[in-house]
Structure 1
């Protein structure tokens, strides 16, 4: 009987152990997939493509780099020739984030081609691009400087002159050629007319050429904070064009707007400039890969806010960053950031801790999703187990009664039978049954006592 009891116990405990093992494995797998697919850890380093080392993009990048370093993220800066190269590297997946001049993205291109407003399009009609805008972060005016030419009435006087239009393939050159074409300085294919010489130089190199009278004018697209622009504004003997047709050009080329450099804003002492200057301007887009980790997107947005929120000669305090006028579809993180601010955890916790807590919460959600139905089943499971325990004892009593009725028990078998009855009674007395089981427990104890009395009587074959 000890062998049969051991076998019974193994069948009883085996399914229970398998059930707990399956539950633990299910919870572990659910937590793993939640963390792996819905909240992976952000990478420790990302690449930002900027621009020339003496340009505003690279200076912005240096500030971003320092701010991200405080949060344990390494931002590697990758200089370039400008926005066109930046866009190419982003599209090729060679950089995670970068600055792109307004007018180069698919939404600006579509607007220039008189396509419908992208804000009115359905989701499946949006540009097919792996890139997203986090925000526009600065004005990028078109600065047209010369020494002697009067350009307020237009760029026609640049015919036959030497004009620096920016590095070949840059966004600066694209804008410069489009403006020159609008004024008939170049043809529709951007070939110079009437002896005009286009010089493919930009940045500080073009400034030095102008100051040395080796060119007659330069067209520069750059932020007012750019060291190049600051040097031009501080140089004596240079004229900054204020185009009378600026508003019309902004209507003709929709990625442009107009900004005004107020009289005396550069130097009140020198009355520089000595009149209000109306400038064409585009904006700088902060562009990321669509699959960039959301935590890093929020971190970049916060770095943008700290870098660009200060007022400038052309922007009011807090004007940038903003989600308006982007050349790429706006990232989901940006929409939430500009509506609700920083994520709650990142507001009150360090970046690494906020991300850890968020991942732990997401890991707990599938566990809770599995546990809640189990918790609701617990009362039923407990009742089922208690009923099963009672029925199992009744089964043991039935086997004992059959043994008593079928043959004469030996003294050893009678001792084992008494031990089984005692064990059943101890198990019943030592188990806390619900109140609604009281009648069944009482009946089971009566049956145990009945079998005990029958065991004490002589068997059918005894004299």
Structure 2
């Protein structure tokens, strides 16, 4: 009886030693092995944000211990900012002009200020393209008074871009025949002769503009340097850019333009430590972004704060100072 009891005690001791050793062995890596869940808001499946978001999720999962990141299709920038605010996503692709509006409670975020967003990085320019047909005879924004102008969907970022560029040329909506049309609707209206000019904000080449150029000779209206400087002074999220000749069929010359920036933002759930890990993982694996979409080639560490409209996550800021 006594031997049997001693045997049980001996077995129990072995089990306790095993458990303690397992805890001790895992203790050093316990923090890094903790599961971290990141939901990434992108855009429509046919857009640019979606493939980039999938690549970012893959990068984070491969390079941050315990990470479980997933990208989801969304209604893009405005919807993404609201999802960040609600806490249903932690990381999102957005346009920097819309982030500026949200942070300052203006435009579509009037009386709905969102002051919990922090920047990770700006990515690449989304250019405001002012498209007309060669046959219209229009060569400059200053000639748009009295014209039928597609300014984007009502309340959209494109519509705000159009209004701000027209303002730089002292043109208001009272001076033009305003048409609130989406990219696809504007392209159809141009081809059918129902509008004279359309504003499109997107990375170039843009499918909607390519579609027009495949059947018609297009012209892009320039935003001259002085007007661009005036806009940037008032709206600091804009940057200058050039749309190169041959971006679209028959486009013979470079076109000076203004652009907003696609960017990545996080909410307050993302700590400085995680913000650092996210930023470092992305910029250590840029080739994966480049392989996911052609605009990936425009993403650089040197340009990561160009057009940044809000404070950086402290971890991202630390990474860029290294």
Cα distance in 1, alignment partners of residues 270 and 253 from structure 2: 45
TM-score (norm 2): 0.70
Residue by residue over 1:291-310, the C-alpha shift from the partner in whole angstroms, topping out at 9 and shown as x without a partner, is 22614454455566642599
For 1:304-319, what aligned pairs fall within 5 Å after superposition?
Answer: 306-307=288-289, 318=300
- The residue aligned with 2:140 is 153
Q: Is the 8 A contact 2:131 2:198 kept in 1?
A: yes
For 1:194-273, what aligned pairs fall within 5 Å after superposition?
Answer: 194=175, 196-202=177-183, 204-224=184-204, 226-228=206-208, 230-231=210-211, 236-244=216-224, 245-264=227-246, 266=247, 272-273=250-251
Structure 1 gaps of 5+ residues are: 1-23, 113-126, 187-191, 341-463
Q: Is the 8 A contact 1:56 1:226 kept in 2?
A: no
User: Which residue, out of 28, 34, 55, partners 1:41?
Assistant: 34
Residue by residue over 1:213-267, the C-alpha shift from the partner in whole angstroms, topping out at 9 and shown as x without a partner, is 3332211111125544554566631111112333433334322121122334x37
- The residue aligned with 1:95 is 89
Task: Check 1:215–1:171 CA distance in 2 against 1; reply closer, same or farther (3 A cut).
Answer: same
Judging by fraction of residues, say which structure has more helix.
1
Greater Rg over alpha carbons, structure:
1
Q: Is the 8 A contact 2:154 2:180 kept in 1?
A: no
Structure 2 gaps of 5+ residues are: 1-19, 107-112
The SS at the match of 1:211 is helix
Structure 2 residue 122 is matched with structure 1 residue 136: yes
Residue by residue over 1:81-139, the C-alpha shift from the partner in whole angstroms, topping out at 9 and shown as x without a partner, is x42232222222222111221223349976x9xxxxxxxxxxxxxx9832211111001
Residue by residue over 1:271-306, the C-alpha shift from the partner in whole angstroms, topping out at 9 and shown as x without a partner, is x43122101112112111232261445445556664
- The residue aligned with 1:420 is none
- The residue aligned with 1:429 is none
Judging by fraction of residues, say which structure has more strand.
2
TM-score (norm 1): 0.51
State the aligned residue count: 282
The SS at the match of 1:129 is coil
Residue by residue over 1:155-214, the C-alpha shift from the partner in whole angstroms, topping out at 9 and shown as x without a partner, is x4333433222233322222222223444543xxxxx32561322323x34323323333
Structure 2 residue 258 is matched with structure 1 residue 291: no
Cα distance in 2, alignment partners of residues 320 and 210 from structure 1: 38
* Higher RCO structure (Cα 8 Å, ≥6 apart): 2
